[in-house]
């Protein structure tokens, strides 16, 4: 990890640089993973890019390429590779901003086993049926903007 990619005061940068201890799992050139210190359930872990940035849009693509392969391997390692809709499951969660429940301002992906209705991630999901004309207008606007990003 080059100097530009780290932030001296960041707790996850310190973990990546081994300045403070962690229960490390997989490390690649661009990614570091370790057990969460305040797990919502056994096996709750974090996968972080070795690049300091607070939110997902701050991270260069090169530092994101290993995130899902590493997360997938860890899900298998935790025995969560159940090929059925029933049985143990898992959530992959990545929060951006205080209002979205982010506490550590270095991008991180939670891998959270979901083995019962109490432990692991609880989700609020205020879904409501959309009007097709509203979806169509939003779609048109976003497609127009896509080329600018
Ligand atoms: P957030 O709410 O920002 O998405 O999640 C931050 C996560 O980082 C929390 O689940 C919290 O337990 C974890 N965490 C915070 N500080 C440390 C630490 O020093 N070591 C480890 N292993 N996890 C941490
Ligand atoms: Zn950092």
| Every domain of the chain and the residues it spans | 11-123
Q: Quick check: 109 pLDDT over 70?
A: yes
Q: Ligand 1 center to residue 125 CA distance, Å? A: 23
Per-residue confidence at 27, pLDDT binned at 50, 70, 90? very high
Q: Which CATH superfamily is domain 11-123 in?
A: HIT-like (3.30.428.10)
Whole-structure pTM value: 0.96
Per-residue confidence at 1, pLDDT binned at 50, 70, 90? low
- CA distances to 49, 86, 87, 102 from 107, rounded to whole Å, are 7, 31, 30, 9
Active-site residue (options: 101, 108, 110, 139): 108
Q: Quick check: 132 pLDDT over 60?
A: yes
**pLDDT given at position 119:** 98
The answer to whether residue 108 is catalytic is: yes
For residue 58, with 0-12 CB atoms within 10 Å meaning exposed, 13-18 middle and 19 or more buried, which class applies? middle
């Amino acid at each position: 990890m080059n100097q530009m990619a780290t932030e001296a005061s960041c707790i996850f940068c310190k973990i990546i640089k081994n300045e403070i201890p962690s229960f490390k799992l997989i490390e690649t050139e661009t990614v570091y993973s370790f057990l969460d210190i305040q797990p919502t359930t056994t096996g709750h872990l974090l996968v972080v890019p070795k690049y300091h940035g607070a939110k997902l849009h701050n991270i260069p693509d090169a530092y994101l390429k290993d995130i899902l392969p590493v997360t997938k391997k860890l899900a298998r390692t935790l025995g969560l590779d159940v090929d059925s809709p029933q049985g143990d499951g898992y959530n992959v969660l990545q929060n951006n901003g205080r209002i979205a429940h982010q506490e550590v301002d270095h991008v991180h992906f939670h891998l959270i086993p979901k083995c019962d209705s109490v432990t692991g991630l609880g989700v609020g999901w205020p879904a409501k049926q959309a009007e097709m004309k509203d979806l169509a207008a939003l779609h048109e606007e976003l497609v127009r903007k896509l080329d600018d990003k």
